Chains A and B, each alone.
Chain A
Amino acid sequence: MEAPVERAPSRPVNSMSPVGEWTIKIIFFIYSLLCIFPILLLIMVSLSNESDVIIHGYKFIPSKIDFSAYKFVFSDWESIARAYGVSLFVTIVGTILSLIVMALYAYPISRPDFPQRKFFTFFVFFTMLFNGGLVPWYLVYVRLLQMKDSIWSLILPLVMSAFFVLIIRTFFSTTIPSAIIESAKIDGAGEMRIFFRIVLPLSLPVLATVALFSTLNYWNDWFLSLVFITKEDHYSLQYVMYKTLTNIQYLTQHSDAIAHIGGTTKFPSETVRMAMAVVGIGPIIFAYPFFQKYFVKGLTVGAVKG
């Protein structure tokens, strides 16, 4: 019989010293505060009174709560609603389309018996190594495909991501036992059937992860609107936020434009800017706690599998 191990009653043997533990806690407390602070600042300023802001600048604690910035932002709610609509449509349709197209492409190249497997794998992989540059890419979409101002120009460029395709392919080839596919074929199942009835249901983890990151990509995109869209009704939300930041600047830098709105003091430009930002960020921050662990899980599994 072994003698019981002597242990300090409250700490396991191999833990950090209290000093070390507290140092770490303090470091992270400060750093986390640093990460959160700018977001809180934004929210606080958006709830401030404009003249206070002009006199005192962006203060963390507003001297009085003032919703006029939000009133202003929502008086023009149509363009915001439309931008939300565009972003939602692009994100949902884009993610679903992307998942389907990429999974469909990844499956054949994951099958060892597919003769052209190497060619098609290289075909998608090469796009990670070399690209034609901004100019030809832009000309293809605008001059060749005539997709300027089309909502599909916000979706198509992001559908096929070589990185995700290869991740899905690797998952298919390492996680789906060929025995299952063989027995399905013996039972007379066609390839499509095998794909939809067997492969996809077994691949939910990787599909969920790709969907998550794909959603993030689409939702955060502003570059495609910048490059392809000139008509306001197809601006994505991020792009509208971007324009607001620069447009209000335009307003404050050109004084004759301000006269139309009744002068600088009447136009709550600073607080409106922040309100715009809050309206844009709000949903993400709100949804974040629910989705955060899936992001981490997805990255973690990816890191372990390499």
Chain B
Amino acid sequence: MAIRSNLRKYGMFYLMMLPGFLILLVNNYLPMAGIVIAFKSMTYQHSNILLNFVDSKWVGFENFKYLFKTSDAWVITRNTLLYNSLFIVLNLLIPVAFAIMLNELRSKFLARFHQSIIFLPYILSWIVVSYLVYGLLHDKNGFVNTTILPIFGVDPVQWYFKLEAWPYIIPLVNTVKNVGYYMVIYMAAIIGIDDEYYEAATIDGANKWQQIMRITIPLLIPVMIIMTLLQIGRIFYADFGLFYQVPKESGPLFPVTNVIDTYVYRTFIAMGDSGLSSAAGLYQSLVGFVLVFLSNWFVRRIDKDSALF
């Protein structure tokens, strides 16, 4: 009876949600059921995936043991964590600094102009960015080798083989691409700060620097913390486009450019090893899940409304 009246009253709601629900089921929840693939040694004799699944041998934690025996597991974890940590720091310092500086410009036109240019890289795809980096770093023709290095009398460098350079190149590229996004958010937050604070400070004789340190930054800290914690929650997930496209799949660079996401992709698609790949994928999903939970718990303690849940 309750179901009947429920359907009558809310039947339309269920209908409305049906397409989205089905898509989520197929795109997100069905694959979740598939994590058991990590515990099997998949064979693909049949064309029907379910038959394949049932037929494949259960190997328990074999795939995981194999994964963590390789030095790869350590390398990709280290790379993912170190790069993401660095990105978090850079995504905090530089956009905040830029936002504060731009806000101080007297010419609003100039501020908007620069904001437009700085935001532009964010909307470019990683393919485009990889082209731009290529134009600069190509070993024979790249702008750096043909024009910049000769100024300092330095010989051309084979950038796409030079390991030591990429821990610098990658954060640089990532920052330029994303700084605009965060800068816009912080600028919005700054504009929201009441002018009266600054007026009162001026009357009390505070100079610019003091105003920034004592008013602007403290009032920005909530936003900064939330943006940071949201990123920490995703610290186990790397930006696939950045690490796959920009280094142009150069094998020799893998020790510094391979992250968990690229590893999962390469072992599955390129090597066809679904056991290793799904083990790595599950490893990422589980650790990622715990981290999101933890970071959300922290956000909750600071500002309940900003928490995801």
- Which B residues are CB-close (under 8 A) to A21? 104-106
Q: Is there a chain A Cβ closer than 8 Å to B82's Cβ?
A: no
Question: Is B158 in the interface zone, CB < 8 Å from A?
Answer: no
> Would you call the interface of chain B mostly helix, strand, loop, or mixed?
helix
B-side contacts of A192, CB under 8 Å: 12, 16
In the assembly, what is the distance between CA of A287 and CA of B171, in Å?
28
Cα(A284)–Cα(B124), bound, Å: 8
Are B106 and A16 interface neighbours, CB within 8 A? yes
User: Known: A20-B104, A140-B26, A277-B131. Contact between A133 and B35, CB under 8 A?
Assistant: yes
Interface positions of B from 1 to 60, Cβ below 8 Å from A: 6, 10, 12-14, 16-17, 19-21, 23-24, 26-35, 37-38, 47-50, 52
Residue among A59, A129, A246, A274 facing the most chain B CB atoms (10 A cut-off): A129
Looking at the complex, which one of A125, A139, A246 makes contact with B34 (CB distance below 8 Å)? A139
Cβ–Cβ contact A125 & B309, under 8 A: yes
Main SS at interface, chain A: helix
Given contacts A131-B32, A223-B240, A296-B184, contact A124 B20 (CB under 8 A): yes
Contacts of B163 in A (CB 8 A): none
Let me know if B27 and A160 touch, CB within 8 A.
Answer: yes
Task: Decide yes or no whether A260 CB sits under 8 A from chain B.
Answer: no
Q: Which of B123, B134, B147 contacts A295 (CB 8 A)?
A: B123
Whether A227 lies near B269 (C-beta < 8 A) is yes
Contact of B123 with A124 in the complex, beta carbons under 8 Å = no
Q: How many residues of A contact B (CB 8 A)?
A: 103
A120 vs chain B, min Cβ distance (A) = 6
Q: Which of A's residues lie within 8 Å of B, judged by CB?
A: 11, 13-17, 20-21, 24-25, 27-28, 31-32, 34-36, 38-39, 41-42, 45, 53-54, 56-60, 101-102, 104-105, 107-109, 111, 114-116, 120, 123-125, 127-140, 143-145, 156-157, 159-160, 165, 190-192, 195, 216, 219-223, 227, 238-239, 241-242, 245-246, 270, 273-274, 277, 280-281, 284-285, 288-289, 292, 295-296, 299-304, 306
Contacts of B185 in A (CB 8 A): 299-300, 302-303
